[in-house]
Structure 1
Amino acid sequence: MRFEGKSAIVTGAGSGIGRATAIWLAVEGAAVVCADLSGADATAATIREAGGRAIHATADAGDEAAVAELVEAAVAAHGGLDVFHANAGVSGGLAGLFDQSAADWAEILRINLIGPFLAVKYAAPRMAERGGGSIVLTASVAGLRSGAGGAAYSASKAGVINLAQTAAQQLTGSGVRVNAVCPGLIETGMTQMIFDRAREKGVEDRIGALNPLKRHGAPEEIAAAVLFLASDAASYVNGQAIVVDGGLSSSHPMTVQRYGRVAA
């Protein structure tokens, strides 16, 4: 019960990583506000049916007024705020630099980067009132280097990683920690099309084949990392980007010797 007596907000809680995180936080004692444009009510209902505490909010994580209201709703409902998982995001597809307009980029950045900024801006002061807290931003391995996402998506997630570092410094002395988690390929609503196509073609076993674990990840595996960063067990972890990708980003692509034979 690492989060007994704690109050938490999770955006993008309607599915995937956000849903898994919200449920796990509640299982470990947190009172959770589940926020999303759709599906958050179902996540909150699941938590309550299991005996946990949760409310839901239909909110756009990239809208300033909505995020400000979300934070105040958590404070009003649960007496304060201790954890904010800024998880909501969009992929924008795998479009290249010349395939999208400035408007496309603006919308991806609004949700993926401005959204986490708003989470920090409005959550950190409320957390500081309680002596500290933890903000966890969902970035991506796509933010580390090229090759894991579209141009706009990758740029937005690189910004999230830097935001975690910048925010950690700007919040010096507040007791509020800011970190990012960088998932690899995880089966979520955002990536469902990739998995569906692979299954239709009978090549599902190739998904995740480029990482040393030879598989894709599950939302619960990212949620586990988020809960660690949000918990007191990570009390000295601040301004970091924790990668959870099966080892994908541990090396550059190359030909390797494995079990006595050469494999690409």
Structure 2
Amino acid sequence: MTNTKHTSAAPGNTEGLTIGTARGGPAGSSGAAQFKEIRKEALEGVRRRAESTKGSGKLNGKVGVITGVGPESGIGTAAAKLFARDGVKHLYLIDYDDTALPNLKKWLESTYPSTKVTILKADAASPSTISNLISQAIEENGHLDFFFANAGVSQIRPRNTTPDIDEKEFDEVMRINALGVFIAIKYASEAMKIVSPEKGKKVPGGSIILTASIAGLKANAGPIPYSASKAAVVSMAQTAAYDLAGYNIRVNALCPGLIETDMTRGMFTLAEAAGKSDKMGVLNPAHRQGLGSEVAQVALFLASDDSSYVNGQAIPIDGGLTAGVPYAKMKL
């Protein structure tokens, strides 16, 4: 994991190592083998599509910020690559641990020369940092079109049960995950009201994208501090959408399920060591984990004008986990 304060957000771990047969799955060893092969091919297809450098131009001319851009497998990094691929004019990338940022900037600008990239080592829950960065974006470009508030943390220190979690831990998780989102909404929304006709923005507006989690929608998907902070993110997306009514500013929350990122790497390592990698994510109808690029694809949609009528939504990206009640079949 990169610095725990600002890695790409991911959900809790309840789906990870639970082993069972999902509803509708084929029975017997032949069925299990079939599912394993389908799972493998599906994941390989996702990875292959994520490596494509051919974009559609959906973000041509747009300027925006992504926070929580650290590890290679993270949602923030995947989003930066997709946004640049689709023609974004200027990307501002933030992470508390900037170890990987210089190489990412170099790769993005060499692969997509029309995209300018500015990187910053910073705390995404710092009001002065976000306010100053947005002011810089306005000064340099004349407008701000999207803000992807993706920075987050699952736990500061691993704890098994609520009595073991210190009050200071709760405060810090809420500061990073919830306060950081509030700050993003507060400052980004004001900047998005600014127009710059000479630089291509004639109408106020923009898209604020927040990384929440299925832990903010359902119980048993993460510890209390994490779940509470992500529930707050969902609520802020809904409330801010109404608070900003009439300004053409949309606010939506992404709610990932089990995503294979740096934050969840420990779970996948344990599964690999036990020879049970193919059991990760079996409780959802997709029968697999998700990858950072799959969450980033939804963020791309929300940042683009294609989602112009999508507002105030908490969008699960979880392979269908929250669509039903997962269970393990019993032999009667």
TM-score, scaled relative to structure 2? 0.75
- Distance (Å, rounded) in 2 between the aligned partners of 1:75 and 1:188: 32
Cα deviation for residue 116 of structure 1 reads: 0.7
> Is the 8 Å Cα contact of residues 283 and 327 (structure 2) preserved in structure 1?
no
Larger radius of gyration: 2
Whichever residue aligns with residue 216 of structure 2, its letter is G
User: Residue 69 of structure 1: SS of its match in structure 2?
Assistant: helix
Shift of 1:231: 1.2
Do residues 42 (structure 1) and 103 (structure 2) align?
A: yes
Quick one: which of 117, 120, 131 aligns to 1:68?
Answer: 131
Task: Report SS of the residue matched to 2:151.
Answer: coil
Deviation string for 1:53-100 (max 9, x for gaps)? 211011101111111122122223333210100000000146432111
* Residues 151-184 of structure 1: per-residue CA shift (max 9 Å, x gap): 1101100110000001111111111110001001
Amino acid at match of 2:67: T
Aligned counterparts of 2:137 and 2:161: Cα–Cα separation in 1: 39
1:254, distance to aligned residue in structure 2 (A): 3.0
2:227 to 146, 154, 159: 154
- 1:23 is matched by which residue type in structure 2? K
Question: Secondary structure at the residue paired with 1:129?
Answer: coil
**1:108 aligned to 2:185?**
no
CA distance in 1, matches of 2:96, 2:185: 20
Partners of 2:159 and 2:322 lie apart in 1 by 19
- For 2:22, the equivalent position in structure 1 comes to none
Q: How does 1:134-213 map to 2 (within 5 A)?
A: 134-213=207-286
Q: Secondary structure at the match of 1:10?
A: strand
Partner Cα separation in structure 2 for residue 117 and residue 28 of structure 1: 27
1:120-176 superposed Cα distances (whole Å, 9 cap, x missing partner): 001001111131000000000111111111111011001100000011111111111
**What amino acid is aligned across from residue 138 of structure 2 in structure 1?**
V
Residues 9 and 32, structure 1, Cα contact 8 Å, conserved in 2: yes
Distance 2:121 2:63 in 1: 18
Residues 33 and 56, structure 1, Cα contact 8 Å, conserved in 2: yes
Q: Paired residue for 1:239?
A: 312
Q: Secondary structure at the match of 1:110?
A: helix
Give the C-alpha shift of residue 32 in structure 1: 0.6
Query: Are 1:87 and 2:162 matched, yes or no?
Result: no
- Corresponding residue SS for 1:9: strand
The answer on whether the counterparts of 1:198 and 1:204 sit within 8 Å (CA) in structure 2 is: yes
Aligned match of 1:5? 61
Question: For the Cα contact (< 8 Å) 1:26–1:54, is it kept in 2?
Answer: no
Aligned-pair Cα RMSD in Å: 1.5
2:194 aligned with 1:129: yes
Normalised to the residue count of structure 1, the TM-score between the two structures is: 0.93
For residues 154 and 95 of structure 1, do their structure 2 counterparts lie closer, same or farther at Cα, with a shift above 3 Å needed?
farther
Gaps of 5+ in 1: 257-261
Cα separation, partners in 2 of 1:94 and 1:203, compared to 1, 3 Å? farther
Displacement, 1:255? 4.8
Amino acid at match of 1:45: K
1:25 aligns with 2:83: yes
Identical columns (%): 43
Q: Does the Cα contact within 8 Å between 1:94 and 1:149 map onto a contact in 2?
A: no
Task: Report SS of the residue matched to 2:120.
Answer: strand
Task: Provide the residue aligned with 1:259 in structure 2.
Answer: none
| Cα offset, 1:18, TM superposition | 0.4
Residues paired across the two proteins, number: 258
Contact 1:82 1:134 in 2 (8 A): yes
Q: What secondary structure, in the 3-state scheme, does the structure 2 residue paired with 1:135 have? A: strand
1:14 aligns with 2:70: yes
- Cα gap change, 1:94/1:234 in structure 2, threshold over 3 Å: closer, same or farther? farther
* Distance in 2 (alpha carbons) for counterparts of 1:77 and 1:133: 17
Q: Describe the SS at the equivalent of 1:158.
A: helix
Query: What is the deviation of 1:43?
Result: 2.3
Partner SS, residue 73 of structure 1: helix
